[in-house]
Amino acid sequence: MPDFIPKRDRDAEGYIDAVTDVVEVDETVYGLAAGSFAPVRSALVAFAAALGAADAAKSAAQIAVADKDNKRAQLEAAFRPLCNQIKAAPVVTDELLAQASLPIRDTVRTAAAPIAAAGVVARGGADGTNLITWQPNGNSAGARYRVESRTSPTGEFTLLDVVTATSFRHAGAGAGTYREYRIVTTRSNQSAAPSNTAVVFAA
């Protein structure tokens, strides 16, 4: 059986206060000795004071956190441009950067990680050729797309082709044949998570 006293502090305070107001009018009719609720009333006053103090502390903490975040933003706004200026200065060597605990210049271009393609759509043709299209979803030039399909909802996906375009025509898929497609974006030796799937049902 659930507890009859509300869980939330404010709700509990209001509920207990309301019950106390009613019972204190004549405690004897509720089977209690006169004055039985006096400790409840005292505890209620103390709890209300503590609850008010807690609410004030929470509000002050929220203000303090907001002020801290604002001061952090101001600190970074003053610090970051100067660090970027130092890193951009030709006279500053990597040794000096390391000595100042600043990041060493990246002299090797790091290939952007591939992003999962999105919005995959498959359309079946009467001649058995299916057109699959998708959105690059932020992938830039250089991304390659593995077009994979399977012929049943529980089968394994197999590779059809690897393309750089965002569309693919699957000839010979067979009119009236179940085909489910997905796209896996790759770049260098990295692969993104598979895209959503698209299904062409029997025509």
- Could you read off the pLDDT tens digit of each residue along the chain, which spans 203 residues? 678 999 999 999 999 999 999 999 999 999 999 999 999 999 999 999 999 999 999 899 999 989 998 899 999 899 889 888 998 898 999 898 889 898 887 666 566 789 999 999 999 888 888 999 999 998 887 799 999 999 999 999 999 999 999 999 998 887 778 899 999 999 988 999 999 999 987 54
Let me know whether 96 and 146 are in one domain. no
* pLDDT value of position 110: 63
92 in a structural domain: yes
Determine the structural domain holding residue 95 and report its residue range.
1-108
* pLDDT value of position 14: 94
Let me know whether 57 and 100 are in one domain. yes
Structure tokens at 153: 């909802």
The last residue of a domain, from among 68, 85, 108 = 108
* pLDDT value of position 203: 47
Let me know whether 75 and 28 are in one domain. yes
Q: 28-67: b or e for each residue (b if 16 or more CB lie within 10 Å)?
A: eeeeeeeeebeeeeeebeeeeeeeeeeeeeeeeeeeeeee
- The CATH number for 160's domain is 2.60.40.10
178 in a structural domain: yes
Q: Is 55:13 a contact under the CB 8 Å cutoff?
A: no
Let me know whether 193 and 154 are in one domain. yes
Task: Give the count of domains, the chain.
Answer: 2
What pTM did the predictor assign? 0.47
